[in-house]
Structure 1
């Protein structure tokens, strides 16, 4: 039967324990700050010397300044050393962490994963994503383990990288991607509806417009001599306005179709395309006594219908914005290898379309490719202000570039740069 200890004996034992604790704390501090390079420990075979190779001052300073947690384990998985970052991660003071089993901080559903990591870590460097327990709950992290050779044997170094911010970013990114996908689906539906609306609207608008044009022409032809001069002037304005409206409806429909039509590309000789376009303008060229010079143009991979529209728009503009004091002269030619700034280093070809027309002030060079932008009055020059916007959009869809140079009263030059081949997997 044990004799109860007196109050004085308990006080004496408590003081002895406090001294031992102070000594242990000082020893741990000395190890962490590099003041101690070896320890003598009394074991079952007597006193044993443990050299602290991995705890030299440089190593400890580095470990303490790391943003990651760092611990050193013995073969039983006990924590021989840890830095202050790991102690903060698990929400405990350093003195409470030392000598604990690292498995203490592994949640139950991650035990098997940790055991495999601990087993393989002695023979090869290993990493795994898991979680550790802290006073505030689970901390997602990556454990990176490697074996260390010490004088007293082998130890395991474990680096713990907190993945909380990364996981939150991934979660936010996933949420944003899901929202973007939903928006893309909604946009596709909206584009389809818009295309349907444009088709229906163009048909429904053109039908009454045709009647306005037809009855206006009948009225003009049959009753021209009977109408007062003011009425004739108003009637001509109705006819001109309805013609412009019809042109605008057709151009808007063409522009909207560029968003939805499937692009198919084939190798085409641009010279042939230009000559086809010129056949459509044959009568107009004769009427304006225009001269069109076409050089040898390259073969490119293009959408024939769209590129035909590009040349049609640019040649039409050159004829439309001609000077009244001289016939139009239009030159279409291939330029030397284009200096196009392309990050993919794709070979380009360049074609210029020049005229001797009225030109424009180059300060407006960016505006001319915008939808409904006009630099000239519609009363003198017909058109919807959509042609160059359509042209630029087609060139963009071909991964090309278009730019313009001009001088008022001298003429304009449009330079188109297109890739020789489109990068579209079949």
Structure 2
């Protein structure tokens, strides 16, 4: 076990003198004979002279090596960043002749020379004696004015190193904590900025004024911040506020504190400015505020929905009663027209406009029926069930068989899926679409019902795999895409009544049916090129 007594930096000839004298003194205090004191000190001095002349960062450490109670020795260790033995082999040869106990090692750009001298009476060198030797050199009076100056310089260097270490620790702490910090003087000059704040800045932060702050502070917050800063200077007081600081393309809320930076005597001429991220807390507060407003809106919506459901129920009842009450006198009118016409000739019927009256009454009857059907579409009182669309198409084509036969139409129906829905409404849907395809044409009608095709450039709320996609295509007159926003509205007609029949409710009824099934319907068409209606029915 080695107990260090003293260290000596080997820089110049004065250090060589100090090294020699202190080697002699330690040897003397350990009870060595004069000849051994001289031999040990001279060997150390030879290597030390080589280190001073050719070495770099040379250091001599003198100590006592206690191998065991009966075996103790003085040891001198000289370290250097230069291969001393290679630089001056003569010095090491001479030192080895003087002292036979010398070891040398050079590795990793570091040389180490150990010179030792056994103590002849190790028993006399007790723990108390060793402590007194260490204390002697700790409080040893200067050997010369140079030694005194050197001691003071060493003390100053130690203090400087401690101060630098302390400053580095505080600087590291200021740079690593997640708080943006700067120091200002009374003339608005920025004296110091920590790394956390620098990371927010695109430009140097030199002055605490509007021109500089606009680079990273939200424009709406600058006036409040500068007003607080001016009051803090005038009143020598603190300022606390909230500021938004730019981070990329966003602004992050920070709690801003401006605090006088007081010295030990109570005076101050600078201020500490802290910006602490409170964006998460602000978002929570805003979210709670929004939730409160959302609840109020939700209650208002629930109230409005309740009133709307009541009005819809009233409207549905009105539509049913009105259509029933209108159909009854209309049927009587048609019956009386039929009976009155039995005794009239064809010329008399034309003179009394019997054909026009009968046609108008028929249109009115169809209109009342369509309005009633439209008002009855509601799935809230009906349960969805599995519907085989192949069976639905068989029924629809049966109903339209006379029209198909009359127009010599070609109807192609590919296998269709089973879907979840309401059979009566889906039957009405396909009836209207195929009937339109047969109606709006000037040539032999061709209608194709297909399953699984996906239209180009289609934008859905979800993946196409979530829908049954069915198309109804015809070779009819087609229509312009500019009508895509109104074609499914009630009572919308794109042609004169005398060209093509209908009352403009059919496609509105189709859209209401498909929306009732949580699906979508749209079309693709060009004038003279036919029309394809696309039906999307959710699989779940």
TM-score by length of 1: 0.59
Name 1:227's counterpart in structure 2. 348
SS of 2:342's equivalent in the other structure is helix
Preserved CA contact (<8 Å) 1:337 1:348: no
Q: Is 1:237–2:356 an aligned residue pair?
A: yes
Offset, 1:364: 2.3
Q: What does 1:1-400 correspond to in 2, within 5 Å?
A: 56=174, 59=177, 61-62=179-180, 84-85=240-241, 167-225=288-346, 227=348, 229-232=350-353, 235-259=354-378, 261-323=380-442, 326-336=443-453, 341-345=459-463, 346-400=465-519
Render the CA deviation track for 1:138-194: whole Å, top value 9, x for unaligned.
xxxxxx9xxxxxxxxxxxxxx986976555433322222211111111111111111
SS of 1:227's equivalent in the other structure is helix
Preserved CA contact (<8 Å) 2:396 2:427: yes
- Counterparts of 2:340 and 2:522 in 1: how far apart (Å)? 46
- Counterparts of 1:271 and 1:264 in 2: how far apart (Å)? 20
Render the CA deviation track for 1:287-325: whole Å, top value 9, x for unaligned.
2222222222222223222111111001111222232xx
Q: Which has the higher contact order (CA 8 A, sep 6+)?
A: 1
| Ranges in structure 2 where 5+ consecutive residues have no aligned partner | 1-164, 183-196, 198-216, 222-237, 243-257, 261-277
Moved more, 180-189 or 207-216: 207-216
Structure showing greater Rg = 2
- Counterparts of 2:454 and 2:516 in 1: how far apart (Å)? 21
Preserved CA contact (<8 Å) 1:338 1:350: no
Offset, 1:248: 1.2
| Ranges in structure 1 where 5+ consecutive residues have no aligned partner | 1-36, 39-50, 68-81, 87-92, 96-143, 145-158
- Counterparts of 1:160 and 1:251 in 2: how far apart (Å)? 58
1:215/1:169 CA distance change after superposition, 3 Å: same
- Counterparts of 2:437 and 2:282 in 1: how far apart (Å)? 66
RMSD between aligned residues: 4.0
SS of 2:390's equivalent in the other structure is helix
Preserved CA contact (<8 Å) 2:349 2:355: no
1:338/1:364 CA distance change after superposition, 3 Å: closer
- Counterparts of 1:407 and 1:201 in 2: how far apart (Å)? 39
